[in-house]
Amino acid sequence: MASFDFQVSREADGWPDEAALEALVIRVIGAAASYLEKVEGQPFPAHDTELSLVFTDDAAIREINAEWRDKDKATNVLSFPAFPVIPGGMPGPMLGDIVIARETVAREAEELDKGFDDHLTHLLVHGFLHLLGYDHIENDDAEIMERLETRILATLDLSDPYQGSDPL
C-alpha cells in the first residue's frame, strides 16, 4: 500500500484546524491511493511519497492562478505536480502540491446542493489525480478521470459528483 508524508497547511480562516484537515487528507488520499493500486494497478514508490496540501482562500488562489496559469480568477483547486507523471506511471518521491480555496468550495457546494465536506473530498481526489498525470482537457481523458473520481468517491460512500451536472 502506498505510504505518504503529508504536509498540511491551513493558510486562511474558515477551515477546520490542521489536525482535522490532516485526518481528512489521510482518509481521502488513502482511499484514492488504495483504489488506484488495487483496482487500476497504479504503482507507488515503496518509500513515503511527499504531498503538500494548502488550504487557503479565494484571494490567495487567485494570485497563484494568475501567476502560474495566466488566469486572473479564483478557482476551487490547483494541482502542481513536482515531476511530470504519465497516468498509471510511477510517481517520484515528491508528488507535488494541491491548493484549495475555501470560499469557492463553499459556494460550489451550495450551488450543487452538496455538503461542504463531500465537495471538498471530491476536490481532494480530483487534485490528487492531476498530480498522477490525469487531466480533463480532452473528452477521452475527461471520461477516464471522471470515471476514476466517481469510483474512488464510491469507496468513500459518496455519490457520482458528475451525475446531472457539468464536470469541473
> For residue 102, which amino acid is it?
R
Q: What string of pLDDT tens digits covers the 168 residues of the chain?
A: 789 999 999 999 999 999 999 999 999 999 999 999 999 999 999 889 999 999 999 999 999 999 999 999 999 999 999 999 999 999 999 999 999 999 999 999 999 999 999 999 999 999 999 999 999 989 999 999 999 999 999 999 999 988 865 445
- The torsion angle over the Cα atoms of residues 33, 105, 70 and 82, rounded to 10 degrees, is -20
Say what the pTM is: 0.95
How do residues 98-141 score in pLDDT, each as one tens digit? 999 999 999 999 999 999 999 999 999 999 999 999 999 899 99
C-alpha cell at 30: 488513502
User: What's the CA gap between 153 and 147, in Å, rounded?
Assistant: 10
Q: For helices 102-111 and 116-131, what crossing angle results, to 10°?
A: 120
Going through the chain in order, the beta strands assigned E by DSSP cover: 4-10, 49-56, 77-81, 94-101
Instruction: State in words which class domain 4-155 has.
Output: alpha beta
Residue 161 near residue 153, CB atoms below 8 Å? yes
